[in-house]
Structure 1
Amino acid sequence: MVTPPSYESRQFERRPGIRPRQTLGRRLDAASRAALPAAIAVVLLLLLHAPLGLPAQPALLLGAELACVFYWSLFLPRVMPSPVVFVLGLLVDLLGTGPLGLSVVLLLIAHVAGIAWRQALMRQGALVIWLVFAGVAALCCLIEWLATMLLEWRLLPPGSAALQFGFALGEYLVLSGPFAWCMRVVARPHG
C-alpha cells in the first residue's frame, strides 16, 4: 500500500529549483533525523533507569515519556508513529516494576491526544498546549494509580499519583525547550 506524501514533503516538492538526487547518504540522513525523537525517548528511559540516586526517580519516568510522546505526536507526528509509541511503552513496562501493558496504554493515550488535538493546538500558545498536556498527564496518572490499586488489591494514598503528576508537568516544561530546538535544527531543518 502506498502512503500519500505528507504535507511537508508536498510543500518541499512545490518549491522551484533543482532538487538533490536521493543518494544513500541523503536517505540515511533523513532516516536518522526521523529516528531522533524515538532515540531521545529511549535515552531518557535508560537514563531514568540508571542508578542515579535521585529521590523519587521511578516517578520521573512516566512524566518524561509522556512529555516526549505528547510533544512529538503534536508537533511532528510522522516521526512518532503509533508502532514506535507501542514499543516505547513496552520498553517502559519491561524495564519498570508496573504491570505489563499499562505504560503502553498510557503512552498511546498521550499519542492519540497529541494527534487528535493537533489542528486546534497548533494555533495556540505554549501555555494552552501545556494546560492540555496537564489534562492528559492527569488522566494518565489517575489511570496508573487506579490500575495499581486494582492489581495490588489495596488502597494506595493519592500522594504518589499527585507527585507523579507534578513531575510530569515540570518535565514537560524542562523538555519542551530542547525538543523545540531539536525539531527546528535537526529533525526538520527544511521548514
Structure 2
Amino acid sequence: MEKLDPKRTVKPRKMPVQRRSAATVGFILDAAARILEERGLDGYTTNIIAERAGISIGTCYQYFASKEAITAALIARETEHLCHELDLARETRDWATGIRLAIAAAVTYQLKRPRLAQQLDLAEKILVLSEGQENVQKRAQDVIASLLARNDAYVAENVMLVSRDLVAIAHGMIDSAGRHGETNIDRLCQRVYCAISGYLDASKGIPAT
C-alpha cells in the first residue's frame, strides 16, 4: 500500500458550511478512523475511505485532495479535546496539580481508542501539518515546561530538557498501556505520575547546560 507522503498538501479543499456538507466530512473522518483502527496506515487509501464512508471518490475529493489531508483533519478532530485539557492544565496555579491534569488528559485520550491514537501518532510524525495545527507532543512539552518554570527547583536552562524527558516517559508508558489493552485510567495515571515524580526528584541535581 502507498505510504503517507509528507510532501502532499494537508489542507482541506473546502470547509463545510452547510449541515449536509459537515455531515459528509464527518462520514469521511469516521470512516478513516475505523480503517486506521482495523488496518493501520498500510491499509489506508482514499478509495477505501470513500467506500467505507458510503460516498463516491469524487465527493471525497471535493473536500480532501489526498489521504494526507484526511489524516490531518482527523488528527485535529481527535486531539481537539486533549489539546483543550492540556491548555487548562497549563493555567493551573499549582504546578504539580497541572502535571497531574496533563497526565489525566493524555491517558484518557490514549485509552479511549488506543489503536487509533497509536496510528495518528505515527501519522503526525510523518506529515507536515498546516500552519496553526501544532504537533500534540510539542504542545505537551510546552505545557509541562510552563508548569515547571513555576518551580524554583528547576533552573531555566533545564526546563525544556526536563519537560522533553517527562513527555517521553509519559508517552512511552501510556502507549504501552494502550497496546496491552489496559483500561483502568486512574491506575495508569497514578503509575505515570509516580514515574514522573521519581524523575523530577532525581533531576534536580542535573547541572545547567
1:23 to 41, 58, 61: 61
Write the distance in 2 (CA, Å) between the matches of 1:137 and 1:148: 16
Deviation at 1:146, TM superposition (A): 0.8
**Aligned pairs, number:** 140
CA distance 1:76–1:142, change in 2 (3 Å): closer
Asked if the contact 1:69–1:107 (Cα under 8 Å) also holds between the matched residues in 2, the reply is: no
**Cα distance in 2 for residues equivalent to 1:103 and 1:45:** 12
Q: CA deviation at 1:57?
A: 4.5
| Aligned residue runs from structure 1 range 2-17, under 5 A | 2-3=2-3, 6=36, 7=39, 9=44
Q: Identify which range, 90-99 or 37-46, moves more after superposition.
A: 90-99
Asked if the contact 2:141/2:167 (under 8 Å) is kept, the reply is yes
Task: Quote the residue 2:194 is aligned against.
Answer: 142
TM-score normalized by structure 2? 0.49
1:27-46 CA distance string (max 9 Å, x none): 55663233222332222111
Match of 2:173 in 1: 109
> Which structure 2 residue ranges, 5 or more long, are not aligned?
5-34, 126-134, 149-158
**Is contact 2:89–2:98 with CA below 8 Å preserved after alignment?**
yes
Contact 1:90 1:103 in 2 (8 A): yes
Q: Distance in 1 between matches of 2:145 and 2:97?
A: 19
Instruction: State TM-score, norm by structure 1.
Output: 0.53
**Ranges in structure 1 where 5+ consecutive residues have no aligned partner:** 122-128, 154-191
Relative to its length, the structure with more helix (as a share) is: 1
1 CA distance for matches of 2:78 and 2:143? 16
Q: Secondary structure at the match of 1:130?
A: coil
Give the Cα–Cα distance (whole angstroms) in 2 for the partners of residues 52 and 148 of structure 1.
Answer: 19
* Aligned residue in 1 for 2:163: 100
Shift of 1:72: 4.1
